[in-house]
Amino acid sequence: MNRKPIFAANWKMNKGPSETEDFARALLPHVQHQTFPCDLVIAPPFVSLAKAAELFGNVTAVALAAQNCSEYDAGAYTGEVSAMMLKEFYVHYVILGHSERRAIYGETDAVINAKMLKAREINLKPIFCIGETLEEREGGKLEEVLRRQVTKGLEGFSDKDLSETVIAYEPVWAIGTGVTATAEQAQEAHAFVRSLIGETFGADAAARIRIQYGGSVKPGNAAELMACPDIDGALIGGAALEASSFLQIIENGTKD
Binding residues, as ranges, are 10-12, 176, 216, 237-238
**Interface region with ligand PGA, contact rule CB under 6 A, candidates 32-40, 62-70, 138-146, 212-220:** 212-220
Stretch that binds ligand PGA, among 53-61, 106-114, 120-128, 231-239 (CB under 6 A): 231-239
Give 181's contacts (C-beta < 8 A, 6+ positions apart).
171, 174, 189, 213, 215
Work out whether 5 is an interface residue with ligand PGA (CB under 6 A): no
Q: Is 112 a binder of ligand PGA (CB under 6 A)?
A: no
Question: Which of residues 170 and 232 has its CB atom nearest to ligand PGA in the complex?
Answer: 170
**Residue 202 near ligand PGA by CB under 6 A:** no
Does 215 bind ligand PGA (CB under 6 A)? Our answer is yes
Residue 170 annotated to the active site: yes
88 is catalytic: no
- Separation CA 226–CA 144 (nearest Å): 25
Q: Which of residues 143-172 bind ligand PGA (CB under 6 A)?
A: 170
CA dist., res. 44 & res. 20, Å (int): 8
| Chain contacts with ligand PGA (rule: CB under 6 A) | 10, 170, 175-176, 214-217, 235-239
Residues catalogued as catalytic = 98, 170
